[in-house]
Amino acid sequence: MAVLPNRESQLLIDGKLVAGSGGTYTTINPATEEVLGVAADATAEDMGRAIEAARRAFDDTDWSTNTELRVRCLRQLQTALKDNLEELRELTIAEVGAPRMLTSGGQLETPIEDLSVAADTAENYQWATDLGYATPQGIPTNRRVVREAVGVVGAITPWNFPHQINLAKIGPALAAGNTLVLKPAPDTPWCAGALAELIAEHTDFPPGVVNIVTSSDHGVGALLSEDPRVDMVSFTGSTATGRAVMTAAAATIKKVFLELGGKSAFLVLDDADLAGACSMAGFTASMHAGQGCAITTRLVVPRARYDEAVEAAAATMGSLKPGDPNDPRTVCGPVISARQRDRVQGYLDLAVTEGGRFACGGGRPADRDKGFFIEPTVVAGLTNDARVAREEIFGPVLTVIAHDGDDDAVRIANDSPYGLSGTVFSADPERADRVAARLRVGTVNINGGIWYSGDMPFGGYKQSGIGREMGLAGFEEYTEIKAIATAAN
């Protein structure tokens, strides 16, 4: 792999690293606003070639049935990623603005380790289930159910955790026997381009099995939803874009996986360690500048201790000054772009208009004239009806809301179009379990438990998506079920 700076990434189409027909476009360091380098800029024609290559590789080779080859290729990719770990770390910090500390976890190292889950699952999976002999309608029959690959998968991914989300789609989809076209976000093309290089140069993936197409044009990715040669689209991003993906996919009735937005609630019950819980909520909301769909951004606390809760959250968030993501002590780096910074600032301005106040933060840090930074901000004085409490902001913003007991806390948490994640803190584990069971969400953290792991399913209820990523459920998203009945003699 080339070293920073002056990197130039390419497309991976049909097993070859190639230039984009649209030339190149620049990628920016969000912490400094400096141009890092360029990435291949694909056109609709390039995407068409990638889809055709994936279609051919699925239809005309034994990839979908050769489990041994699939496992070997995934393990080769994992080895190549580990061998280039330090360069990938520097690239991720520079392009994503990800704090260095997070690259030891979900930003880089953990998703690389989790490739083993996909490979192991494919290697040990029970592809066929014998249902035995029966006489349906009086006819002696031997029956079995088999799992098969869906076909060509179009994967569309965002910029906030590019390695985690790219690999969470690539690993299971390929392990299950599909071929794939990945369209990453325009903001982070290098992360995907590095993956393309490693696949092309260090693995035995056959041509066309995995294709990676970077482009500054979101419309190029939209082609994956529309093209009849694509059997499934796997999308992670905003709920608004997810609706568009689902609408476009409806024309060909293709399978759709959607992991979308969130406005998750952090419930502090009246017997909890209030200061400790609110401090954790503030830390969580500040990580990676709040750019995580499952981050808890509504802190729901007992009304009688509201001011104390606001003070505790603000003490933590106010101490987490936005900083250089290269610094190993930094928790809150920049947001990805000027556009995103302005969007977050628009919500902060709206918070004031809606009657809220800032217990800390509220805008751009005074000591940073470069970079797309926003101060970690605690918003107080609003109810769950405020737009700032209902809409996904994707910045380091925590809204504190009062509750009047467990039932009210659950009501507030569930009073949202989203249902991705949630947290419950209580001194009584059984009470916490009862509250967690009532939350209409896909993941729950009780008293600081960690649900993020390659063998755990991730996804949401309601407008947070359809289906699950990771774990056995995530692997099976990329399969179809076939029932086979053979007449018995």
Q: How far apart are alpha carbons 389 and 114 in whole angstroms?
A: 34
Exactly one of 197, 259, 469, 476 is catalytic; which is it?
259
Q: Which two tokens stand for residue 277?
A: 């819980």
Beta pairing class for 418-419 and 11-13: unpaired
SS3 label, residue 188: coil
Mark whether 86 is an active-site residue.
no
Kindly provide the b/e burial profile for residues 454-471, where b requires at least 16 CB atoms within 10 angstroms of the residue's own CB.
bebbbbbbbbbbbbbbbb
CB hemisphere CA count around 442 (13 angstroms): 29
Cα Rg, the chain, nearest whole Å: 23
Q: How far is CA 352 from CA 1, 30, 141, 187, 307, in A?
A: 48, 27, 69, 30, 18
Q: How far apart are alpha carbons 290 and 263 in whole angstroms?
A: 11
Specify the long-range contacts of residues 273-280, CB closer than 8 Å, at least 24 apart: 273/425, 273/427, 274/301, 274/302, 274/305, 274/308, 274/309, 274/312, 275/308, 275/312, 277/425, 278/309, 278/312, 278/313, 278/316, 279/312, 279/313, 279/315, 279/316, 280/425, 280/448
Sheet holding 128-134, edge to edge: 128-134, 141-149, 479-487
SS3 label, residue 321: coil
Q: Please, are residues 32 and 370 in contact by the beta-carbon 8 Å criterion? A: yes
Q: How far apart are alpha carbons 276 and 274 in whole angstroms?
A: 6
Q: How far apart are alpha carbons 191 and 111 in whole angstroms?
A: 13
The residues that are catalytic are 259
